[in-house]
A = this chain, B = another copy of it.
């Protein structure tokens, strides 16, 4: 994902006068998708959502903006976007939710909630917090049920070692070490508000929260913490890597299929 400053063509943030803006909460299985953003290479969530909205709007274009531009194969249980429908349409929350879901029925994408919002409200710029969960399956056997839903790591990971290393990462830092080379954000400074690691049977869950993230930041953090979990790195190595402010000093990028955008927070909550 990349929550950084948008390119110029995304900057229009007010709904035009002839439009009504709706916020939608979306769940999707990213396995067969190329990610949020439209691409020629395959189906994106954006394309599916906008095509469903256009069908609901009788063929008129309905542009969308999202809170988190998830990468290919990344999942979401609480993605948020806004859609600008023609002002003439009679809409209500249930009709938007069920109407969009109906037109998405051939795809693993579903609308969980819909709510009308002010023309100045933005799924992207009004967000005060993004919440991600990374799911790692830590056992010798590959996943039988959760293929494409977890990162499978065979060797046993030291969870307490990873937990204590998170202290180095929490708070405000220059996260250049954990930022994709292609990241478009102007600043590499971010504030990590939460990085909890818990074991649940064979699963290791990473719960990560911040106002916004750099491109690949969560996956780069998890990939690096995994080096600590298998004792190839210690905490001092992590501190040195963070202070290097250089992607080359960081660990590998954890695979996209373990990552879930679980929620985006707004104040007030439009779905509240």
> Chain B contacts of A147 at CB under 8 A?
29, 108
Contact bitstring A85-116, B, C-beta under 8 A = 1, else 0: 00000000000011001000100111110000
- Say if the beta carbon of A77 comes within 8 Å of chain B: yes
How many Å lie between the Cα of A219 and that of B105 in the bound state? 26
Closest 3 A-B residue pairs measured CB to CB? A27-B144, A110-B144, A29-B145
- Say if the beta carbon of A75 comes within 8 Å of chain B: yes
> Chain B contacts of A27 at CB under 8 A?
141, 143-145
**A145 with B101: CB separation less than 8 A:** no
Number of copies: 2
Classify chain A: how many residues form its interface, as a range: 20 to 34
How many Å lie between the Cα of A77 and that of B149 in the bound state? 15
Most buried by B among A97, A140, A149: A140
- Say if the beta carbon of A14 comes within 8 Å of chain B: no
CB distance from A256 to the nearest CB of B (A): 14
**A28 with B112: CB separation less than 8 A:** no
How many Å lie between the Cα of A29 and that of B145 in the bound state? 5
**B145 with A98: CB separation less than 8 A:** no
CB distance from A11 to the nearest CB of B (A): 30
- Say if the beta carbon of A231 comes within 8 Å of chain B: no
**B29 with A142: CB separation less than 8 A:** no
How many Å lie between the Cα of A120 and that of B26 in the bound state? 53
Closest to A105 in B: B142
Contact bitstring A1-34, B, C-beta under 8 A = 1, else 0: 0000000000000000000000000111100000
**A141 with B97: CB separation less than 8 A:** yes
CB distance from A227 to the nearest CB of B (A): 25
- Say if the beta carbon of A194 comes within 8 Å of chain B: no
Contact of A108 among B112, B141, B144 (CB under 8 A): B144
Q: List 9 additional A-B contacts (Cβ < 8 Å) besides A77-B144, A109-B144.
A: A27-B141, A28-B145, A75-B145, A77-B145, A101-B141, A101-B142, A110-B142, A110-B143, A110-B144
Contact bitstring A60-99, B, C-beta under 8 A = 1, else 0: 0000000000000001010000000000000000000110
